[in-house]
Amino acid sequence: MASVTLRRGREARLRGGHPWIFAGDLAALPPSENAGEAVEVLDHRGRFLAMALCNPRSNLTLRVVSRQREEIGRLFVQQRLAAALQLRRHLLGDAGAARLVNAESDGLPAFVVDRYGDFLVVQSLALAADRLLPHLVEELVAQTGPQGVYERSDAPVRALEGLPERTGVLWGAEPPPLVEIREGEARFLVDVREGQKTGFFLDQRPNRLKLGALCKGKRVLNTFCYSGGFSIPAALGGAAEVIGVDTSGAALELAEKNAEANEVGDRCSWVEANAFDHLRDLDRLKERFDVVVLDPPAFTKTKDSIPGAVRGYKEINLRALKILAPGGLLVSASCSHHIDPQLFLDIVADAAADAGRTVRMIDYAGPGPDHPSLPAAPETRYLKCFWGVVT
C-alpha cells in the first residue's frame, strides 16, 4: 500500500480529528497511479497517522477514513453503513424520509445517501467514492431492501475532483416522477430525479416541525420556499395565510401540489419572483407579516466570496425585519458553511440595528440528528437556523 508523508508541523489538525488533508500539507503529492485508492498517511518522521482516500488532482487531496491500518473495501463499507443505519434507527425509528449516510460524519467520505420511502438516492462526490460506489450500492440493497437506488451525483463539486456529473438508476426500479413522504402530519411529494439536492432538504426537518406550532392564526411569508417545506406545516398549524416565494416555477408547481395533497391550498399562495426584489416590494407596499421564513441557498461556496454573502444575508434579514409586525417571528437560515455561527448571529444583529428593530433570540438550531457532524470539522455542521421575536 502506498504512503503519503505530511510536512513537518502539519499533523495537528489531523490528530485533532479533522478528516481533510490538503495538497499544501503534504511533503509531496502522491503519484497519479494512486488516484482513487486508499493510502497510509505518515507524519514527517514516518509514523502512521491514518488511512485516507486519495486524489492527487484535487486540492483536497486526502480524505481520512480510519485512524488504524485496515483494508478499505467492501467489508469496510459494510461496517460503516451498518453503524450509520443503526444510528438512524435509534434516533428516528422507521422514519420514511431521512439521511442515512452523511459523508465524513459517518466515516464514508464524499457519500450522501437519502431515503425517500422505498427509494434511496445516492450522491458520490469524490473520485475515491466513485471507486467504492459498487460496494455501497451492494450493501445498501442488502441492508435496507429498497425498491430502487438512484444516483444524483450531479453536484458541481465533482468538477474539483476531475469528474463529470452523473445521474441514473444504480439498482432496481427507477423512482416515479414524484415520491410521497410524510413528515409529522405533513405529506410531501418529492422529485428525486430532478429536484434540488436529492429532491428535498431533509436537514430542515426539525425546524419545519417546530414552525407549525407557532403559526396558528398568523400571516406567514416563506421566501426561497422551493416545494413548500415550511409553508405546509405552517398551514397545517393553523396559519390564516401562507405566501411562498421562489424563482423556480417548477418548484412552485410542486409546492401547490403539496398544498393540495395536505388540503391547505385555500390558505396557500405562490409567487414566482426574486426574493430580494419581492421583500423590497412588500416593504414599499407596507405589507406586514406575523412570521417570515428565510431559507436561501448557500450564498458562498468559497472563502473569497464571504463578503458578498454577508451583504446578501444582511439584505434579506433587513428586509424581513422591516415587514414583520411587532411580536413577529423571524426564522432565518444559512446553509453556507463558510458563514460560521457567530458571524451569522452578527449579521442578524446588524440587520436589526439598521432596521431599527429589537430581536430576541428564542432558539438557534442546526440540522436534524440524521445529519451528524464532527466537532473538529465545522464544515460538517453547515446549517444554522435563527429563531427570533421582533419588537
* Mean pLDDT value across residues 249-271: 98
Question: For residue 301, is pLDDT > 80?
Answer: no
CATH number at residue 35: 2.30.130.10
Question: For residue 208, is pLDDT > 90?
Answer: yes
What confidence score (pLDDT) does residue 223 get? 98
Domain count of the chain? 3
Q: Would you name the residues annotated as active-site residues?
A: 335
Q: What is the DSSP string of 145-156?
A: --SEEEEEE--G
Same-domain status, 235 and 357: yes
Same-domain status, 50 and 186: no
- Dihedral sign for Cα atoms in the order 34, 36, 37, 38: positive
- Place 305 in a pLDDT band, splitting at 50, 70 and 90: confident
**Cα–Cα distance between 176 and 298 in angstroms, integer?**
28
In the chain, % of residues over pLDDT 90 = 96
* Mean pLDDT value across residues 215-240: 98
Tell me the pLDDT of the chain averaged across its residues.
96
Domain boundary among 141, 172, 203: 172
* Mean pLDDT value across residues 205-226: 97
- Place 304 in a pLDDT band, splitting at 50, 70 and 90: confident
**Cα–Cα distance between 339 and 333 in angstroms, integer?**
11
Q: What angle do CA 102, 105, 108 make, to 5 degrees?
A: 70
What confidence score (pLDDT) does residue 323 get? 98
Cell of residue 159, nine digits: 468538477
Same-domain status, 222 and 166: no
Q: How remote is the C-alpha of 304 from its chain's centroid?
A: 21
Cβ-contact 196, 224 below 8 angstroms: no
- Place 303 in a pLDDT band, splitting at 50, 70 and 90: confident
**Cα–Cα distance between 171 and 140 in angstroms, integer?**
10
- The parent domain of residue 312 ranges over 179-390
Residue 40 in 3-state DSSP? Answer: strand
* Mean pLDDT value across residues 130-135: 97
Kindly report, residue by residue over 58-82, the tens digit of the pLDDT: 999 999 999 999 999 999 999 999 9
Kindly report, residue by residue over 152-166, the tens digit of the pLDDT: 999 999 999 999 999
User: For the chain, how many helices (H) and strands (E)?
Assistant: 9, 19
- Residue 26 is classified by DSSP as B
Same-domain status, 184 and 155: no
Question: Residue 57 contacts by C-beta under 8 Å, 6 or more apart in sequence?
Answer: 32, 35, 127, 161, 162
Q: Where are the beta strands (DSSP E) in 191-267?
A: 219-223, 241-246
Cell of residue 248, nine digits: 423556480
Question: For residue 302, is pLDDT > 90?
Answer: no
What confidence score (pLDDT) does residue 1 get? 80
Same-domain status, 104 and 222: no
| Nearest CA-CA partner of 372 in 20, 103, 181 | 103
CATH number at residue 162: 3.30.750.80
**Cα–Cα distance between 247 and 223 in angstroms, integer?**
10
Q: What is the DSSP string of 159-173?
A: GGGT---EEEEEEEP
Cell of residue 212, nine digits: 407549525
Domain boundary among 172, 195, 219: 172
Same-domain status, 191 and 86: no
Kindly report, residue by residue over 2-26, the tens digit of the pLDDT: 999 999 999 999 999 999 999 999 9
Q: Which amino acid is at 152?
A: R
**Cα–Cα distance between 212 and 236 in angstroms, integer?**
7
**Cα–Cα distance between 21 and 80 in angstroms, integer?**
21
Same-domain status, 58 and 165: no
Residue for grid cell 434540488: 196
**Cα–Cα distance between 225 and 46 in angstroms, integer?**
52
- Helices (DSSP H) in 71-212: which residue ranges? 74-92, 127-144, 205-212
Kindly report, residue by residue over 345-380, the tens digit of the pLDDT: 999 999 999 999 999 999 999 999 999 999 999 999
**Cα–Cα distance between 94 and 63 in angstroms, integer?**
31
Same-domain status, 161 and 19: no
Domain boundary among 118, 145, 172: 172
* Mean pLDDT value across residues 121-146: 97
